[in-house]
Chain A
Amino acid sequence: MTDVRPHQDIATPAGDIAKPIKSELLHINMGPQHPSTHGVLRLFITTDGEMVTKVVPYLGYLHRCAEKIAEGNTYHQYIIYTDRMDYLAAMNCNWTYCLAVENTLRSLGVEVEIPEYAEYVRVIIGELNRIASHLIAFGTYGLDIGAMTPFFHALREREAILNIFEKVCGARLMYSYYDVGGVKWDIPDDAMDEIKLFIDLFPAKLDEYNELLTGNKIFVERTANVGVLDAATCIDYGCTGPVLRGSGVKHDLRKDDPYSIYDRFDFDIPVGTGTVGTVGDCWDRYHVRMLEMYESWRIIQQAVDRIPPRGEVMAKMPKNLKVPPGQGYYRAENPKGEMGFYIISDGGTVPFRCKTRSPAFHNLHIIEHVGKGQMISDLCATIGSLDLVLGEIDR
């Protein structure tokens, strides 16, 4: 297992007794219980001193057979399992799944007319969850770099969002709020007031985060020029979301392949610019998330301003949902990247096959490439900047 090789870099004393110093590579399990692998990711790393020479991810510690379960549950029943995929952005996972089912229905000739009010509710709640997910990414990234305080500040604002979600659907983590054809319940008045309050307060908090971490000299030293991913590599590895955008590719399904009512809102797609280092370094990915929170805030603000008067939140859907035989792959922009569902229906009430394309699964793969030749600390910084959630990697 251990390969022994002469180390060329170490100077050896002159004379006959001098022998080249032998050094061994060290094999370490990073995870499944490790603070910076963000869950139960196990990386088998080979190190030469502080340098990592090889990274091999081992997955499956959180595998819950979601795709098998999908084949035994009705389209409605499977919604709750999508919660458990990206558990930090469960609303978005629900939404993507419901969107996929609705689009599959539409493409097969079944009319699904989602009320406009429900579409606005979906956008508001989905973008709030995007902010919540990015807040966790921001906070835990601080932890990875060694700054504890941003995490608590991020959780403080996430708490406000979770309180809103609790009022909206009664749950704080696993919402199952979106349904095929709309959303399950209307937003209550006090939750709407809280959303408005959140809109008022959030930009100041965002400035606070930037003051705390973004410009910090040590933080910049740790993240700039670290884990650089160029655009071509990112595309080759199937990276999406902030990882791809951090490498300077302006790709966001909300703009490029608009779904729901995103074409009605005015927002920008932030991309990595290499402000403090190279385009596509850890800092860029981090900064893209920070800017995206601001863009989400803009979308929520516009949606709350323009939301139509209260009305139906559900389309008229049959109680026992049957999808005609057919197939379709539909996707949406989740906080972690592009999430998609490939649904094959055999005409019954349960999917024949429901494959999930999870963004973090593809984003994880690149760690094999970028982890080589980094220091252990940089590897932690890189993993953090990819913002992995094992729930959707292992499914």
Chain B
Amino acid sequence: MTEQEIYQRLQARFDDSILGFESDIPQPVVSCTPEAVGDIAKYLRDDPALSFDRLLCLSGVDYEGLDEKGKGKHREINRYEEDGTVNPVEDPGTGDLAVVYHLESFKHHHRLCLSVRVPRETPKIASVGHVWITAQYGERETYDFFGIEFEGNPDLRRLFLPEDWVGWPLRKDYEMPVRYNDVPLEGLGLAVRDEQ
């Protein structure tokens, strides 16, 4: 089944929840609303004509700095100068966050890319951990880096970073904290030493 057919099938079933379909790119993207993603995932897995039994990759994306056409000026990550100063990001980000699911079916050998945009201020999305168990870790990772909350994930904790870490590092407007638990962080060591 091609992505076009999958999209039509999804639209017939979920009508309003399916927001769009980017078809003019090699790996077409279906986008949907964050609330419906749990149901859509269940449908994608259980429908015999689709049977997407594999979640290949669950990625978080911060679209801050990317315009409608996907072009944009890339925002540099914080730079630490030799004298210990840091170039902070001037304005807080405004772009959407997104969760991207890459799915594949063992049975039909077709693939689908499902993209779900969530607003930056209230990044909440339904969990798909009960559909593909592997998503539970992917969601934890995405929560860890983007601060997107997956409602229904049984164990939504930070995965890689310590529990008491402040901020969501892969957001484009992330500023690296000066200290973590009284430990001066990399690049800022010089500045902190000078303060003392």
Q: Within the complex, are A and B direct neighbours (CB within 8 Å)?
A: yes
Point out residues on A near B: beta carbons under 8 Å.
59-60, 63, 65, 67-68, 71-72, 107-108, 235-238, 249, 251, 256, 325-329, 331, 338, 340, 342, 344-348, 350, 352-353, 355, 357, 361-362, 365, 369, 394
Asked if B57 and A329 make an inter-chain contact with CB atoms under 8 angstroms apart, the answer reads yes
Q: Which residues of A contact B77 (CB under 8 A)?
A: 68, 71-72
Asked if A328 and B26 make an inter-chain contact with CB atoms under 8 angstroms apart, the answer reads yes
Asked if B71 and A346 make an inter-chain contact with CB atoms under 8 angstroms apart, the answer reads yes
A selection of 6 A-B contacts at a CB cut-off of 8 Å is A235-B53, A326-B25, A342-B57, A350-B74, A357-B102, A365-B136
CA distance A347 to B67 in the complex (A): 11
Nearest-neighbour CB distance to chain B for A382, whole angstroms, equals 17
What are the 4 closest A-B residue pairs judged by CB atoms, nearest first? A238-B134, A60-B160, A107-B26, A325-B70
Q: Which residues of B contact A72 (CB under 8 A)?
A: 76-77
With both beta carbons as reference points, the residue of chain A lying nearest to B27 in the complex is identified as: A328
With both beta carbons as reference points, the residue of chain A lying nearest to B169 in the complex is identified as: A68
B86 proximal to A (CB < 8 A): no
Asked if A325 and B56 make an inter-chain contact with CB atoms under 8 angstroms apart, the answer reads no
B32 proximal to A (CB < 8 A): no
Q: Which residues of B contact A256 (CB under 8 A)?
A: 109
Asked if A236 and B133 make an inter-chain contact with CB atoms under 8 angstroms apart, the answer reads yes
With both beta carbons as reference points, the residue of chain B lying nearest to A328 in the complex is identified as: B27
Nearest-neighbour CB distance to chain A for B179, whole angstroms, equals 17
Asked if A329 and B56 make an inter-chain contact with CB atoms under 8 angstroms apart, the answer reads yes
Asked if B161 and A327 make an inter-chain contact with CB atoms under 8 angstroms apart, the answer reads no
Asked if A325 and B132 make an inter-chain contact with CB atoms under 8 angstroms apart, the answer reads no
Asked if A60 and B71 make an inter-chain contact with CB atoms under 8 angstroms apart, the answer reads no
CA distance A51 to B73 in the complex (A): 56
With both beta carbons as reference points, the residue of chain B lying nearest to A355 in the complex is identified as: B59
CA distance A325 to B102 in the complex (A): 19
Point out residues on B near A: beta carbons under 8 Å.
25-27, 29, 53-57, 59-62, 65-66, 69-74, 76-77, 100, 102, 106, 109, 113, 132-134, 136-137, 145, 158-162, 169-170
Nearest-neighbour CB distance to chain A for B99, whole angstroms, equals 11
Of B29, B106, B158, the residue contacting A235 (CB under 8 A) is B106
Q: Which residues of B contact A71 (CB under 8 A)?
A: 74, 77, 170
With both beta carbons as reference points, the residue of chain A lying nearest to B29 in the complex is identified as: A327
A235-B53, A236-B132 are known contacts. Are A342 and B74 too (CB-CB below 8 A)? no
Nearest-neighbour CB distance to chain B for A107, whole angstroms, equals 4
Q: Which residues of A contact B136 (CB under 8 A)?
A: 365
CA distance A369 to B99 in the complex (A): 26
Q: Which residues of B contact A353 (CB under 8 A)?
A: 59, 61-62
Nearest-neighbour CB distance to chain A for B187, whole angstroms, equals 13
Q: Which residues of B contact A60 (CB under 8 A)?
A: 158-162
CA distance A60 to B61 in the complex (A): 20
Nearest-neighbour CB distance to chain A for B41, whole angstroms, equals 13
Asked if B57 and A346 make an inter-chain contact with CB atoms under 8 angstroms apart, the answer reads no
CA distance A107 to B29 in the complex (A): 14
CA distance A169 to B57 in the complex (A): 32
Nearest-neighbour CB distance to chain B for A326, whole angstroms, equals 6
With both beta carbons as reference points, the residue of chain B lying nearest to A69 in the complex is identified as: B77
A329-B27, A329-B56 are known contacts. Are A346 and B72 too (CB-CB below 8 A)? yes
Asked if B133 and A237 make an inter-chain contact with CB atoms under 8 angstroms apart, the answer reads yes
Asked if A67 and B27 make an inter-chain contact with CB atoms under 8 angstroms apart, the answer reads no
A60-B159, A63-B161 are known contacts. Are A237 and B170 too (CB-CB below 8 A)? no
Q: Which residues of A contact B102 (CB under 8 A)?
A: 329, 340, 342, 357
CA distance A350 to B26 in the complex (A): 21
With both beta carbons as reference points, the residue of chain B lying nearest to A249 in the complex is identified as: B106
CA distance A63 to B159 in the complex (A): 10
With both beta carbons as reference points, the residue of chain A lying nearest to B55 in the complex is identified as: A238
CA distance A238 to B133 in the complex (A): 8
With both beta carbons as reference points, the residue of chain A lying nearest to B165 in the complex is identified as: A60
CA distance A351 to B166 in the complex (A): 25
CA distance A342 to B60 in the complex (A): 10
Contacts A236-B134, A342-B57, A394-B160 known; 19 new A-B pairs at CB < 8 A: A60-B158, A63-B161, A67-B170, A68-B169, A71-B74, A71-B77, A238-B56, A325-B70, A327-B70, A329-B56, A342-B102, A346-B71, A346-B74, A347-B72, A352-B72, A355-B60, A362-B134, A365-B134, A369-B133
